[in-house]
């Protein structure tokens, strides 16, 4: 299970999972549960629960549904997911990436 780190002071450079944004910026202030949101956006309860627990990504389908309900854009949700994926990959292959020699311009 993903560890919920709600204090960005712990690691200000860590990638932010869209589930954290959903949980902290949308569900908590509105007093919504993952179950209630799942019902409202017509997806299985487990889909929202796994996103909120930072175990699953936000897919284009889910991004469209969240954007419709919350009045955001699908790009908002997919952008957070893309940044999370990119930063996670960068952290995972950092040393290997540094070892790649850039191609000289022609």
Average pLDDT, the chain: 92
Nearest-angstrom CA–CA distance, 6 and 76: 20
Nearest-angstrom CA–CA distance, 103 and 16: 31
- Average pLDDT on 5-34 reads 85
- Is 26 in contact with 70 (CB distance < 8 Å)? yes
- Is 37 in contact with 27 (CB distance < 8 Å)? yes
Q: Residues 71-79: contacts with CB within 8 Å, 24+ apart?
A: 77/18
Q: How confident is the model at residue 12 (pLDDT cuts 50, 70, 90)?
A: low
pLDDT for the residue 8: 46
- Average pLDDT on 38-63 reads 99
Q: What angle do CA 75, 85, 24 make, to 5 degrees?
A: 65
- Average pLDDT on 31-51 reads 99
pLDDT above 70 as % of the chain: 89
Domains by residue range for the chain, with CATH: 18-98 (1.10.260.40)
């Amino acid at each position: 299970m993903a560890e919920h780190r709600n204090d960005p002071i712990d690691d200000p450079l860590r990638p932010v999972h869209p589930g954290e944004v959903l949980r902290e910026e949308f569900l908590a202030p509105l007093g919504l549960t993952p179950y209630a949101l799942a019902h409202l956006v017509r997806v299985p309860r487990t889909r929202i629960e796994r996103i909120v627990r930072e175990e699953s990504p936000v897919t284009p389908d889910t991004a469209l549904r969240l954007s419709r309900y919350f009045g955001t854009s699908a790009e908002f949700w997919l952008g957070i997911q893309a940044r999370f994926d990119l930063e996670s990959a960068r952290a995972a292959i950092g040393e290997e990436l540094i070892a790649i020699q850039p191609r000289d311009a022609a």
